[in-house]
Structure 1
Amino acid sequence: MGKNKTFGILFIVTIIFLSFSLRGKLSGEKFDSKKWKNWTESEMEFSTRWDMMNSLRNNHDLKGKTKNEIINLLGKPEFEETNSEFSYYLGYSGRGINTGRLIFYIGLDGKICDFKVYQG
């Protein structure tokens, strides 16, 4: 195998590895609690919450917080399905007409045990 071919294969493998490693780690916009709380779904701000999601996930320990701590950070949730689940509307994802929600799950101890971001 030639030197150029080996370099090419190594380069491609490195790019693939980096794309999987960095997936979900690159922030679009730094999380801003005030901006999140005051967000309105307008043409200028369709994806504001989506753009802040990676920063929110990567820079705030959401698991283990109480519902009141999350409300203090993100404002009143748009949806409260049950006593153990509440969520926030994220608006358009910037990928076509997909929208999403950030859903929090409350454990028996009254603290956030998990959260998920749904797009669809």
Structure 2
Amino acid sequence: MKNLRLIICTCLIIFFTFFYFKGKISGEKFDSKLWKTADLNTENNMSLRWDMMNSLRNNFDLIGKSKKEIVDLLGKPLNEKSFIYDYYLGYSHTGINTGSLKIIFDTKGRVSEIIVWQG
């Protein structure tokens, strides 16, 4: 009886974990050229940048980079304030939510924080 409960609990955990992470983990490799040239208004590219976010965060150490290095890597931001660059990420695979990447710079012009926003 204990073994049956353990098997059922394990299956339920796996089942719910799969649905929780479905659409949140992407295998899309970050490509600077694709990122810069993506037309996020087309159906094929609506979530391209969002899909590349995990690869960008995991494989590129953005903290400490200069504004020029960020623009070289990601292109010109959608909104550019003195200490914040905003990049539109497109649809996030969770309903009609879209996302944005906020890159925050310190007073020396180096990346100090990265925020991924979804809503």
TM-score norm. by structure 1 comes to 0.81
Q: Aligned residue for 2:45?
A: 45
> Residue 37 of structure 1 aligns to a residue in which SS?
helix
Q: Aligned residue for 1:56?
A: 56
Q: Aligned residue for 2:115?
A: 116
* Cα shift at 1:104: 0.5
Identity %: 48
Aligned partner letter, 2:35: W
* Cα shift at 1:7: 4.4
* Cα shift at 1:57: 0.6
* Cα shift at 1:68: 0.7
Separation (CA, whole Å) in 1 of partners of 2:3 and 2:77: 57
Aligned residues: CA RMSD: 2.5
Aligned partner letter, 1:118: W
Aligned partner letter, 2:87: Y
Kindly tell me the number of residue pairs found equivalent between the two proteins: 115
* Cα shift at 1:117: 0.8
- Unaligned runs of 5+ residues in structure 2 are none
Separation (CA, whole Å) in 2 of partners of 1:110 and 1:13: 48
Aligned partner letter, 2:74: L
Per-residue deviation, residues 27-84 of structure 1 (Å, max 9, x unmatched): 330000000000112122111101111111111001111111111001111111x211
TM-score norm. by structure 2 comes to 0.82
